[in-house]
């Protein structure tokens, strides 16, 4: 009886000790996060300059790991997406006896794969670790892109293009960063798509020199080189890409830092990931914001350079050289990079995390640039 009482007291003491320790960790994390430092001009360049030393150290590791892997992953995804545009105007059309509508169907198959697979892919992320699922998707893209070098018919390319699109990286980024940190980092992530398109153009220009080497055309070499670029990034993702804070077990974050990361998200009002329920699905499907955003995103993508690479096709029709056809369109990507950064810094630093103003500015900029092109 005495032994039973002693064990009960011991368990109670352990429970109290654990609760106290957890409370102390939360209080310590809260003090670090809420510590206000006088805003300096450096913080307008990068926000970590005004954070406490502990938070700055955490943010450095998070930026280095998550932003690097997210940007590289998005880079290879867009490299695999846009290389078909460069290949089509650089000899693939003639070599495979393709016509323009078949090129449109290739783009459509990619979009169909996105529409069908995007939601299931994000649902998978609530059951499978992102550090496993996302690198697996990237590895599949890389292997499929490699196979494009040996496709000989349009239908084979349709099938391959259908599968080059699944992930949920923006969800991972949003699970780690606070509101006033998110725009800059999200735009760094998205800028990698423009860099990928630029590199694809430059690579295709260089691949012309390999035309005929080992019996392969220059556009086929483009797909092979893309595979060589993507494979190391896929492998690195398994080891470096972090999961969301509540299930993260990466080697570079300590237990205290993970508690700290969770507290940061609690202060933003973000909940931990949870299974989808019937009521949650109904709430999502009846939200007017979801449908409005979907409509706006459809309009945005219909005018996107990736989905409608008309400039390169115009240059081909006007008998420009293959080098010029791939080189000239990269100027638009350079403008995209600059304006994306400007809008992100405006949102985070000047507007304190407000998003709609930069979105409207960007929409009007696109409208002003599009109207003259249609005259």
Instruction: State yes or no: pLDDT of 329 exceeds 60.
Output: yes
At the second CATH level, the architecture of 47-373 is Up-down Bundle (1.20)
In the structure, what pLDDT confidence band is assigned to residue 305 with cuts at 50, 70 and 90? low
70/136 Cα distance (integer angstroms): 14
pLDDT of the residue at 288: 92
The answer to whether 70 and 169 have CB atoms below 8 angstroms apart is yes
Handedness of CA 288, 291, 293, 296 (dihedral sign): negative
If phi > 0 it is left, if psi is from -120 to 50 it is alpha, else beta; for residue 211 that is beta
pLDDT of the residue at 242: 92
The answer to whether 113 and 163 have CB atoms below 8 angstroms apart is yes
Instruction: State yes or no: pLDDT of 14 exceeds 50.
Output: no
pLDDT of the residue at 4: 47
pLDDT of the residue at 66: 92
pLDDT of the residue at 65: 92
In the structure, what pLDDT confidence band is assigned to residue 5 with cuts at 50, 70 and 90? very low
Share the mean pLDDT of the chain.
79
pLDDT of the residue at 238: 92
**Domain residue ranges in the chain:** 47-373
> For 273-279, what is the mean pLDDT?
77
pLDDT of the residue at 115: 80
Instruction: Work out the angle at residue 56's Cα, subtended by the Cα atoms of residues 53 and 58, and round it to the nearest 5 degrees.
Output: 110
pLDDT of the residue at 15: 42
In the structure, what pLDDT confidence band is assigned to residue 183 with cuts at 50, 70 and 90? confident
> For 108-113, what is the mean pLDDT?
83
The answer to whether 354 and 347 have CB atoms below 8 angstroms apart is yes
pLDDT of the residue at 236: 92
pLDDT digits over 233-260, tens only? Answer: 989 999 999 998 988 888 999 888 898 8
């Amino acid at each position: 009886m005495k032994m039973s009482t002693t064990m009960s007291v011991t368990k109670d003491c352990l429970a109290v000790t654990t609760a106290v320790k957890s409370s102390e960790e939360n209080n310590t994390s809260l003090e670090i996060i809420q510590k206000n430092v006088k805003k300096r001009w450096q913080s307008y360049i990068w926000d970590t300059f005004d954070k406490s030393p502990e938070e700055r150290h955490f943010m450095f590791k998070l930026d280095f790991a998550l932003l690097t892997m997210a940007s590289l992953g998005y880079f290879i995804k867009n490299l695999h997406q846009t290389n078909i545009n460069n290949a089509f105007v650089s000899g693939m059309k003639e070599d495979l006896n393709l016509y323009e509508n078949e090129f449109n169907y290739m783009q459509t198959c990619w979009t169909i794969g996105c529409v069908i697979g995007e939601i299931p892919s994000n649902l998978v992320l609530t059951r499978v670790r992102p550090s496993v699922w996302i690198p697996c998707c990237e590895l599949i893209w890389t292997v499929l892109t490699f196979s494009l070098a040996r496709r000989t018919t349009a239908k084979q390319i349709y099938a391959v293009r259908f599968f080059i699109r699944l992930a949920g990286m923006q969800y991972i980024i949003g699970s780690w960063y606070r509101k006033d940190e998110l725009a800059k980092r999200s735009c760094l992530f998205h800028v990698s798509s423009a860099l990928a398109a630029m590199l694809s153009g430059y690579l295709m220009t260089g691949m012309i020199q390999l035309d005929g080497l080992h019996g392969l055309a220059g556009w086929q070499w483009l797909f092979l080189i893309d595979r060589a670029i993507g494979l190391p990034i896929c492998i690195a993702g398994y080891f470096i890409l972090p999961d969301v804070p509540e299930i993260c077990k990466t080697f570079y974050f300590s237990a205290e830092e993970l508690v700290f990361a969770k507290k940061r998200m609690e202060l933003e009002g973000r909940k931990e990931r949870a299974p989808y329920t019937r009521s949650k699905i109904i709430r999502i499907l009846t939200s007017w914001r979801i449908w409005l955003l979907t409509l706006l995103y459809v309009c945005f993508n219909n005018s996107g350079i990736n989905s409608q690479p008309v400039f390169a096709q115009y240059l081909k029709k006007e008998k420009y050289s293959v080098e010029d056809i791939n080189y000239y369109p990269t100027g638009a990507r350079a403008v995209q990079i600059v304006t994306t950064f400007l809008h992100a810094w405006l949102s985070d630093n000047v507007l304190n995390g407000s998003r709609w103003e930069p979105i409207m500015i960007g929409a009007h900029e696109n409208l002003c640039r599009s109207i003259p092109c249609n005259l």
